Amino acid sequence: MKIALKNVGRRFNKEWIFRNLSTEFISGNSYAILGPNGSGKSTLLSVLTGSLTPSEGQISFSDAKDIPVEDIYRHISLAAPYLELVETFTLKELIDFHFKFKNFAAGVDTKSLVSILGLEKSANKEIKYFSSGMKQRTKLALACCSDSPILFLDEPTSNLDVQGINWYHELIEKFTKDRLTIIGSNQIQEYEFCKEHIQIADFKQIN
């Protein structure tokens, strides 16, 4: 799987968030998109997931053959603080609902996913009663344990304590092999395993 950008830029109103970005993201590699809060990391991730169109330049998705941007959602999983969970579902119901649209990663099913989360005692609890850390773990597990070639994580350790951050590292180690993994972050513990770094500030234009 490959995502290729050629002179890509995105602006809101008259302000360029980033511009003249040309690079490739290739399966089997891990990439960190870096910058302070408000710098445009999430905007770039939205362009890479096909949620936003570039204001200029070209983006292409391919896996042996080109993939239309409207179909890229079939190939990606995403976890981000701004994504909401269905809070009236129990954890088991949420997992079953999610995997109506995605396939489980090899060796994973509903029972083992609950075990990976360490939430066996909360399997039948509604999501609205989960702590912020439990919700973040759930978002990460749903994304990482889906059988998708591209994994996007935006600020993945938000609301996680030290134990949760260690759990995140274990999840990454187990479920990112051979995938294209792209992380938006400004926290070293979130992206220290990434081999490639992209500084969003390098693609800013002073108006």
Q: Please give the residue range of the domain that contains residue 86.
A: 2-203
Its pTM surpasses 0.85: yes
- pLDDT 10s digits, 146-175: 999 999 999 999 999 999 999 999 999 999
Collapsed DSSP state (helix, strand, coil) of residue 151: strand
Helices 91-98 and 132-144: crossing angle in degrees, nearest 10, is 30
| pLDDT less than 50: residues of the chain | none
Beta bridge partners, 154, equal 184
Q: If you ran DSSP here, which 8-state letter would residue 36 be given?
A: -
> Domain containing 70 — which CATH number?
3.40.50.300
pLDDT of residue 64: 82
Token output for 190: 């979130």
> CA-to-CA distance for 169 and 176, rounded, in angstroms?
11
pLDDT at 206: 56
Residue found under tokens 């292409």: 60
Number of domains the chain contains: 1
pLDDT of residue 204: 83
